A and B are shown apart, each in its own frame.
Chain A
Amino acid sequence: MSPIFKKSAGSKENKSSLPNSSIIQKAQSVYFTPSIEYNLDLFTSLLQKDADFLLKRFKVFGEIPAVLICLKSLVDMEKIERDIIKQLQDKQHPKNGHISITTYVMEEVLYYTAVGKVKNLAAGLESLLAGKALIFIEGIEQAMALDVYTQEKRSIEQPETERVVRGPRDGFIESLQTNVALLRYRLPVPEFRMEQKEVGTRTKTKIAICYLDDIVNPELVEEVRQRIDKIEIDRILDAGYIEHYIQDDINSPFPQVQNSERPDKVVGNLLEGRVSILVDGSPFALIVPAIFVQFYQTSEDYNERWIITSTIRMIRLVALVFSLTFSSFYVTVLSFHPELIPANFLVAASSGRQGVPFPVVIEVLIMELAMEILREATVRMPQQVGGALSIVGVLVVGQAAVQAGFVSPITVVIMALSTIGSFATPSYNVATAFRVLRFVLIILAGMFGLLGLAVGIMLVLNHMLALRSFGVPYMTPFSPGNYQELKDSFLRFPIQWTKGRPDHLQPQNVKRVKRRQDKTGGSNDEI
């Protein structure tokens, strides 16, 4: 691993307790008393300003005063009314006098699974904020915490970012429970593990580490656990926050963690021996480790015929290389080495440039910049305005700029090719990485010709070769080479031919399917 990684790992030792919520800290030593009025005061003094704070007085068994508090916004009111208050009011006093009221209520009155006892204010506040209802009964110095949490969530829709022509249409949503359910639905095996952790001192975001116990390399899971435990942050607003903390190289333009909105893709990766991290509140699942080839593959690749998919994958790779190098190659050829292309092309290219006031580098840079502005504007605009924007873009950048003699028509063609090339990449984050690097290459090529271009490409390649994602070399299977994995890299061989799991993940069992021993053996059992 690089020294940077080691350094950051070493400096995390003095993590014991961060400044948590100061209210909770103070409330740690405040215990409840048998008086419900005293207990209520503790809460009302803190929460009286909150509009969704609900306080309901009632009598247990029609005689003992009791009170229920909860946060209206988090709970299912119907459940409280029907399943809790009604039950408690309607039932009679226990006939057996020895049994304590709480035990009686919890074991006999309420037919409710998620019930707990709370003794101090800190725990009470935490359960209140987690969507539980607290019930205080006069004379009892404990509160019952009943989980009546309900959450607003949208329905399962087709993922916007990873569209497929053929393939499942369901995508993750923000709710962690639903997302886990989507995975379980596809993986009905006991080996599927889902470890839950809480990250973010303020947001207390739940995250789940998912993997298949008998496939994944245990060291990988341990590494993921450790990296997540090391996170020191107050907020996790999306899976991206986690990604920043667990990646190997912070300063690299390349993504080292894959993200996906598609449950089928996540399951496919789990079955290869990767680990997936789901974050509550984010429809994106993170998948580690990630290698470069994954970023131009789609889940649909495995549904279509292998010859066609292989061709399409190669086209995607060519598009990616185009988006990185094409414009800078154009700059190099026109400004330094016109002898590289045949004379006919050269005449065509340079005759279009007559009257263009800038050198090629500046012209290409301006056009690239214009393209990026257009792209960014199209992404940020509301969809209704987007159409108008693209018309303006086409007219201004394409037609008018050429007619005004501002840029040459061939430059526009080159620009379009390289921009569309980057759109053909399935993964948005790798495409953006290449788009940013493109500017560097154009400047290098404009200053030092073919040498600058070659040096620029080599810097990018060297960086990619030095990159690791959770210890896995980023350019696997090209270097270090692996023949088996090449079958599913820029090509996709028939699924029947690729029976192994990727070696670079060092899974516990490499073979996906055991070959059937003999066919008569199976039928014996039936007799």
Chain B
Amino acid sequence: MMKSSDVVTPVQLAVTIISTMIGVSLLGIPNFVTEKVGTAAPLSSVLGVLMGGLGILAITLLGRRFPKQTLIGYNQKILGKKLGNFFSIVIILFFLILMGVETRHFAEVIVGSLLPDTPISISIFFMIFLCASISFLSVSTFVYIHFFYLPFIIIPLLIILLPSIKNITFYHLFPITGHDVSIGMLFSGGMNVTQAISNFMVIAMLIPFMKNPKKCIKSGIWGYVIGSLFFIMTITIALAVFGPEEMKHLLWPTLILGQMVQIPGDVLSRVDAILLIAWIFAVFTTLFSYYFLYVRGVAELVRSSKYRLISSLGFPFVFIVALLPKDIYEVYYYVLEVTLGGLILTIIYPMCLLILAIIRKQRGIAE
């Protein structure tokens, strides 16, 4: 009964965006940005958020234009079958590779902070297994999972961030524009933030399942803004607490913030364990989105509904990609390179699609 349960509500769409955005990168992002622009990090991250906003705007506008089609569908429609499918494959491959690299990033943090003696492949295996074991299920299950985990991600994050305010040293934030930071530098610092948060493309697979796809713009922007606020907040508070100089020595500043928090009553001596568990949830929801995009995307490309098979086929690929980098520095190198290239796909490409669609006056099937 109740077949209509495979429906995505606007709130669920927004929640999916938030929990997809908050992921692996949250632990290290303050370090990345500060290293480039110093005290201008908050300003720079606002710029980055604005740049990423173009991407979400383009994707939701496309979703409104083609309310019955997913990314794969309107790729074909706008670019023609061959070219469209080519780009779809590129996007799917990008997200698989991104997933591999981020899984490795996750595993490095786990090995570095929790399980120093456990082989890294175990953490990688578990994370991919978690994603692959449920990505073949329905769209509604996908959004329910995002919805359920969000409080468990956000509340611990706030528990870490809000008490840290009392450790703030205000002069760490000044000057807001940084010391001798050129506009180009400001943008390239912002680019780091954009790279970290512009992974919301999975919503292009969800919009056709909305009851009223026209509402996707509003909820898309809300989700994006809330998710970005967490990033800006994390970067600003981390900078204000540690200052630009100390930050350069911290690989995962957010984790250190967690270690500084004290809970009255001495129940747990280290609150960062809670943060780590919340972060594991956050990483899972992010990677789950990537993998879901892969499963649904491939299924639509080959016109099959054997989600189980597709899901298990992707497993070894991601696993191998995750094992490729030699050490954490190489992981960071790959993360930056892959996401930088990814910006073309996640922001510029949807904008081009949108412009093309407008010029050629193409629309999806009306309701």
Contacts and interface: CB of A to CB of B under 8 A. Distances in A.
Contact of A223 (B1, B5, B11, B126): B1
A282 to B, nearest CB: 25
A62 to B, nearest CB: 62
Contacts of A481: 11, 147
A401 interface: no
Contacts of B144: 465-466, 473, 475, 479-480
Given A217-B1, A478-B148, A462 B133 contact: yes
B130 interface: yes
Interface stretch (A235-243, A310-318, A334-342, A386-394): A334-342
A355 B28 CA distance: 43
B269 A340 contact: yes
A339 B138 CA distance: 41
A472 interface: yes
A471 B143 CA distance: 16
Contacts of B115: 336, 448-451
B118 to A, nearest CB: 6
A171 to B, nearest CB: 30
Contact of A340 (B12, B110, B136, B270): B270
Where chain B touches its partner, the secondary structure class is helix
A455 interface: yes
A471 B2 contact: yes
Interface string A45-67: 00000000000000000000000
B269 A450 contact: no
B276 interface: yes
Nearest to A476: B144
A311 B179 CA distance: 55
B268 interface: yes
Interface residues of B, number: 42
A219 B140 CA distance: 20
Q: Which of A220, A451, A480: most chain B Cβ within 10 A?
A: A451
Contact of A2 (B3, B137, B143, B149): B137
Contacts of B277: 450, 454
A466 B138 CA distance: 8
A462 B2 CA distance: 21
Nearest to B307: A3
B273 A450 contact: yes
A459 B186 CA distance: 42
A462 B130 contact: yes
Contacts of B308: 3
Contacts of A342: 266-269
Nearest to B12: A480
Nearest to B266: A342
A99 interface: no
A233 B281 CA distance: 44
Contacts of B284: 458
14 contacts: A3-B136, A339-B269, A340-B270, A342-B266, A343-B269, A448-B115, A449-B114, A454-B281, A455-B130, A458-B281, A461-B149, A465-B145, A465-B148, A480-B12
Given A451-B123, A471-B2, 7 more contacts: A448-B115, A449-B114, A450-B114, A455-B130, A466-B137, A468-B5, A480-B143
Interface of A: 1-3, 217, 219-220, 222-223, 336-337, 339-344, 448-452, 454-455, 458-459, 461-462, 465-466, 468, 470-473, 475, 478-481, 506
